[in-house]
Amino acid sequence: MPKEITPDQAIWVMTTEAAELTGYSLRYLELMARDNLKLPEDQRLFKVRMRARRYEIWLPDLLRYSKETVDNPQSNTDKSDDQEVWIMTTEARR
C-alpha cells in the first residue's frame, strides 16, 4: 500500500475496485459505504457518494482509513508463532 497519495490515486473508485485495492470484502465495503453515506459529511470515515445506484469511494480517504484501522485484511500481523496442531480425541481427554 502506498505511503503517499499520488495524483493518479486522487480518484473516485467503485466498491469492486476498492475491494481489490484494499483486500476488504466487497460486502464489507458496500455496508461501510452505505453507513457512511447516512452520516453528515464531517463525521464520515471516508468520502462516499452514490452514482447510478452504486457507491463510489474517494480513494485517498479509503487508503488512509485502511492504514489506520485494525481490521484491515492487509495489515502486517505476524502470525508466524501460530501453529496448527491436530490431536486425537483420546489425547484430548488426558
10-residue stretch averages of pLDDT, the chain, 94 residues long: 60 93 92 95 94 93 86 53 67 60
Total of domains in the chain: 1
Residue 90 forms part of a structural domain: no
pTM over 0.75: no
> Rounded to the nearest 5°, which phi and psi values hold at 36?
-65, -35
Residue 46 forms part of a structural domain: yes
The residue segments making up the domain with residue 39 are: 8-71
Residue 83 forms part of a structural domain: no
Q: What is the pLDDT of residue 91?
A: 59
Residue 44 forms part of a structural domain: yes
Describe the chain by its helix, strand, coil percentages, rounded to 5. 45, 15, 45
Q: What is the pLDDT of residue 92?
A: 61
Residue 45 forms part of a structural domain: yes
Residue 39 forms part of a structural domain: yes
Residue 15 forms part of a structural domain: yes
Q: What is the pLDDT of residue 5?
A: 59
